[in-house]
Structure 1
Amino acid sequence: MTFTAAEHDAMRRALALAATPGVPHGPNPRVGCVLLDATGNEVAEGFHRGAGTPHAEVDALATAGDDARGATAVVTLEPCNHTGRTGPCAEALVAAGVRRVVFAQADDNPAAQGGAATLAAAGVDVEGGLLVDEARVLNRAWTFAVEHGRPFVTWKFATTLDGRSAATDGTSRWVSSRAARLDTHRLRGECDVVLVGTGTVAVDDPQLTVRDEVDEPLPHQPLRVVMGERDLPADRRVFDDVAETEHLRSRDPRAVLEQLYARDRQHVFLEGGPTLAAAFLAADLVDEVVAYVAPMLLGAGRPAVGDLGVETIGDALHLRVTDVHVLPATGQDGAGGEDTNVRLTLTRRGRDR
């Protein structure tokens, strides 16, 4: 593969465009596009702003107009080859007279793949793989879902140093600090599903929305999903009108993920209690763990995770730490002030996520 310095620079710019703040993380991948003229200078740029809006290539072509003829299109994802809410980007590039297309990540979505072949058949010079690792990171949940046929699952929990999520009387406020709770809202906003079990809704009555620093809900909200067979009171906060909610009457994690994938959901933020967490772990359906660790000891109380069937240390479930971040105290919680929390991000050992 041979790419020019101008194409490298353009791809970095396209990746930055794709990562523009405020763009939904699903169901469509985030994509950026930069058009270069024959001398390597930028003609136009564009990015995808969410489902139903013009794709990045079409956005850039609209800005370029006639200047797109003979240009090189540098795109973070292989141009699509299907008609959905918008037309095929591969055909739009051909019609605009683009001479060359450079993309980072191939599109493995069966409904959209084949754009490179369509372009090549029309006589366009096509080359892929430029900064592909960066592109995969940009759309990690979407990429995982396409390749594995199910949503990526992030399990989040808060714990004391001795692994307790609540005291013996059931109280858990405040195991996590205000800084940790704000960080949780940020991570919720990066997912398209927040998932809990019926037990969590019945006991804790969470709202499960994404909120800002003054506790106001943000415009974009993930789908709230409650899984489990028991009936729940209609007055639970998770059933309010701030965000959409689904009650999936199943105890089977794999069946729930299949239903969510069929609804084009790609990233599940698992916030249920220890029993639900253990069910997902036992089914090998947790891809990432985010743990907020508070500097306190309880000695007894509810564990952060339920029984995993581990009877000897050799059978322990090992995780690989990928990030450690200290969330400083703000002094706004509790009678004695708030504790500093440590956020640990982990994945299963041996997995390349």
Structure 2
Amino acid sequence: MASNLELQAMRRAIALSAHGLGTTSPNPPVGCVILDAAGQPIGEGYHARKGEAHAEGNALLAAGPAAKGGTAVVTLEPCNHVGHAPACRQLLIDAGIARVVVALIDPTSRGEGGVEELRKAGVSVETDVLAEEAMLVLGQWRAALALSRPLLTWVYAETTEGRTGSLKRIPPARDLLLTADAVLDADGHLDEATPRSHGPGMIRLPDNPLQFEHHELLKTLHAGGIRHLLLDGGPDFAAPFLADDLVDHLIAYLPDRGPSSHPQLDGQELMMPDCFQLTGVSRIARYVKVSATRRDRREGGRPSPSSRSRSASGRGTM
């Protein structure tokens, strides 16, 4: 059973892993905390971008020689594949880590998986530690794997006149761009949500997305590495995606029109289609933010946290 210190470290690792949202795809966002032999935190890290060091490597770099005999607490099973980065299970073995605590098994891990290889090397491994909490960050990636397409979040912002405007014009909504890989707007523009600072090519975007049928577009984007796509526009723009049951989540920004006002939209446009269920309502500067999920996607279409199915689209390939 994981100790209280290990549980604290796992929650820290989950929080750190969110720094990789919107920048790691098609790899998952992962966090890691290293504890020394006495259980004290000595290093932490997260995976920032495809092609760069994984969370375990960054955490071990910070920990240095003091990692020997210690514990690695990581949100996703250490990878078992040599790609742009070394296999993380081997980095942990070489560093002399005695114990590894894992939140989620990686369904894309190669061979028998990193956990099994660690155990063969004599490392103590505990899995499924705070797995549901780890899904707060890894859920988007896991859902995209299960759906074989990007997770779609429709985002719109009402104006005080009742029209719908771009999320890019609503300052509180811009934080959403940090959590997604790409954004498609009503004019057909498809852009990386968080532009990469190290040049193009990390995620491949089609030149003219409107030439694709919706299912074909999402298949193409998924093959190009996109795991979470924002749809930025009003009900008319979202309608065909909704009709094809492709929208998984919805976020609406409703402006404060004062304590007494007439509805500016009606019918199904009042806020959201009836196939969605509210999952969050919060007040932000001058707006109320409403979050909703399709009733049949409450689990995100994802496999159980501990399941493993072989795939070539996770961090084991990158």
Aligning the two structures, in what range does the TM-score lie when normalised by the shorter sequence?
A: 0.7 to 0.9
Aligned to 1:189: 178
| Alignment equivalent of 1:326, drawn from 283, 291, 297 | 283
Instruction: Say whether 1:286 aligns with 2:285.
Output: no
| Distance across 2 between alignment mates of 1:95 and 1:106 | 21
In the alignment, which residue of structure 2 is the partner of 1:343? 289
CA shift, 1:249, in A, is 4.4
Aligned-partner residue type, residue 280 of structure 2: D
2:223 to 256, 262, 270: 262
The AA in structure 1 aligned to 2:282 is H
What residue number does 1:158 align with?
157
Select the residue among 292, 299, 306 that pairs with 1:352. Answer: 299
CA contact (8 A) 1:23 1:49 kept: no
SS of aligned partner of 2:208: strand
* TM-score, length basis structure 1: 0.70
Change (3 A) 1:184 1:23: closer
In structure 2, the partner of 1:317 is 274
Assess if the C-alpha contact under 8 Å between 1:76 and 1:105 holds in 2. yes
Shift of 1:150: 1.4
Matches within 5 A, 1:243-258: 246-258=207-219
- Tell me which residue corresponds to 2:71: 72
Q: Distance in 2 between matches of 1:143 and 1:68?
A: 30
1:297, CA displacement in angstroms? 5.1
Q: Which amino acid aligns with 2:299?
A: D
Query: How many positions carry a matched residue from both structures?
Result: 293
Preserved contact between residue 190 and residue 209 of structure 2 (Cα < 8 Å): no
Q: What displacement does 1:65 show?
A: 3.1
Q: Which runs of 5+ in 2 are unaligned?
A: 301-318
Deviations 1:124-160 (A, max 9, x none): 1111111111211022321211232211100012347
Q: Provide closer, same or farther for how the CA distance between residues 110 and 253 of structure 1 changes in structure 2, counting only shifts above 3 A.
A: farther
Amino acid in structure 2 at the alignment position of 1:317: D
Q: 1:259 to 1:245 in 2, by over 3 A?
A: closer
* Equivalent position of 1:18 in the other structure: 17
Unmatched 5+ residue regions in structure 1? Answer: 166-171, 212-216, 226-242, 309-315, 330-340
User: Does the Cα contact within 8 Å between 1:68 and 1:98 map onto a contact in 2?
Assistant: yes
Structure showing greater Rg: 1
Distance 2:294 2:200 in 1: 25
Matched residue type, 1:281? L
How far did residue 191 of structure 1 move?
0.9
Deviation at 1:210, TM superposition (A): 6.4
Percent sequence identity over aligned pairs: 37
Displacement of 1:273 in angstroms is: 4.7
